[in-house]
Amino acid sequence: MHVLLQIVGAVLVLAALADIYTTVLHPRAESSWLSIFVARSVWRLFRSAGLGLPQRRDSFLSYGGPTIIVVVISVWVLLLLGFSLMIWPGLGTAIQAEQGETPTDFATAIYYSGFFLATLGTGDLAPKTAAYRLLMVLKAILGFSVFTLTLSYVLSVYNTLTSRNTFALGLHHRTADTADSTELLARLAADNNVDTLHQDISEIAQNLMGLLESNNSYPVLLYFRYPQAYYALPRIAYLSLDIATLIKSALDSEQYRSVANSSGAAELWFGGLHLLEELCQALLPKVWVQAQEVNEPMWRDHYYQALERLKAEGIKTVENPVEGADAYVSMRHQWATNLARLTKYLAYEPDRISPAEY
């Protein structure tokens, strides 16, 4: 029985260390296992509870990300208390009190394990055998290391979150607070200044690449959902990809050929697709959404309105609007489904992600 308890305790500790390693030291969405499961489970509870709070849902869901961080760390601590099962059989024999009789209950085992994990001291209980002395040294080293790694992980998550929010807010204000991708493109391409458009597209693409990598490294970022829609991750993906789609389908192919075929435009397009694919394949469970063909009339209206807005700014557009609309719809199908899945999973209404289309 004692051996079985120690084996179970060792398995729990190894599980904690493995998840900390894959989450903090090897931070990739596809390698993390326990923390991702915990994050999905907690978010599922938040989403379910939020359905009963229609007026306060956005505010309530904004606590999902921080709560997931707390729960993940709590799970690590609880698993590390598997050390309690390893030392419990030794209480009273291999581990004895400095004064008086040695308690042998499980609560004492938890106290002793927690004391060594949280401090480097010996407390009022002391190991009396070489094996338990080595175990206590190992436990103290792991406790200090885990505390340091956890602290650096939390700081990294929030630093990256600040960068994401800054990017989102910058995109929002560049649209003149309209969340309209057409307005953003019209301002970027104003006066037909190709050089400026090159620079701005490359800047947005670089920020998008940073967002892609940060979500790969810290999947928990997905669950930080704010009441303000301009911080929404689906909004960032929509604006980035719709700009790339309009550049390739709405701008004059001769005058803006260098922009449409530039590395920045390619990075924006393929990076946006990559972002949605990574989020949907690595992080999202199966989320059903309706076939996107039903949205084609709305997309075409959006496209024709975009042409009018661009022309009003003096920007030269495609000569054949019908072919351009067909190209736009075809390209949009490549990202619309994944965007709809992400939007639904994060409990946003579609009209909050692309309000100009509704």
The answer, yes or no, to whether residue 205 has pLDDT greater than 60, is yes
Element (H, E) at 27: none
R_g of the chain, CA atoms, integer Å = 27
Predicted pLDDT of residue 121: 57
CA gap 221, 231 in Å, rounded: 12
Predicted pLDDT of residue 97: 84
Mean pLDDT of 177-186: 94
CA geometry: angle 201, 204, 321, nearest 5 deg? 45
Predicted pLDDT of residue 191: 72
List the helix and strand counts (H, then E) for the chain.
Answer: 15, 2
Residue with tokens 């190894």: 14
Mean pLDDT of 208-222: 93
Q: Report the chain's mean pLDDT, rounded to a whole number.
A: 91
pLDDT tens-digit series, residues 221-251: 999 999 999 999 999 999 999 999 999 999 9
Predicted pLDDT of residue 135: 86
Predicted pLDDT of residue 120: 60
The answer, yes or no, to whether residue 285 has pLDDT greater than 80, is no
CA separation, residue 190 to residues 20, 52, 183, 233 (Å):
49, 46, 10, 27
CA gap 222, 279 in Å, rounded: 8
pTM strictly above 0.75: yes
Element (H, E) at 126: strand 125-127
pLDDT tens-digit series, residues 299-320: 999 999 999 999 998 899 999 9
Backbone angles phi, psi at 337, to 5 degrees: -65, -45
Tokens of 331: 């390209």
CA gap 34, 269 in Å, rounded: 32
Non-local CB neighbours of 81 within 8 Å, separated by 6+ positions? 12, 110, 113, 114, 117
Residue with tokens 């719709």: 242
Residue 160 zone, left/alpha/beta (φ > 0; ψ -120 to 50; rest): alpha
Q: How many residues are there in the chain?
A: 358
The answer, yes or no, to whether residue 108 has pLDDT greater than 80, is yes
CA geometry: angle 224, 229, 230, nearest 5 deg? 95
Non-local CB neighbours of 171 within 8 Å, separated by 6+ positions? 184, 204, 230, 235, 236, 239, 240
Predicted pLDDT of residue 54: 85
Mean pLDDT of 290-297: 90
Predicted pLDDT of residue 149: 93
The full DSSP string for 85-123 is HHHGGGBTTTEEESSSPPP-SHHHHHHHHHHHHH-SS-T
Domain locations in the chain?
Answer: 2-151, 175-357
pLDDT tens-digit series, residues 24-53: 998 887 777 899 999 999 999 999 999 888
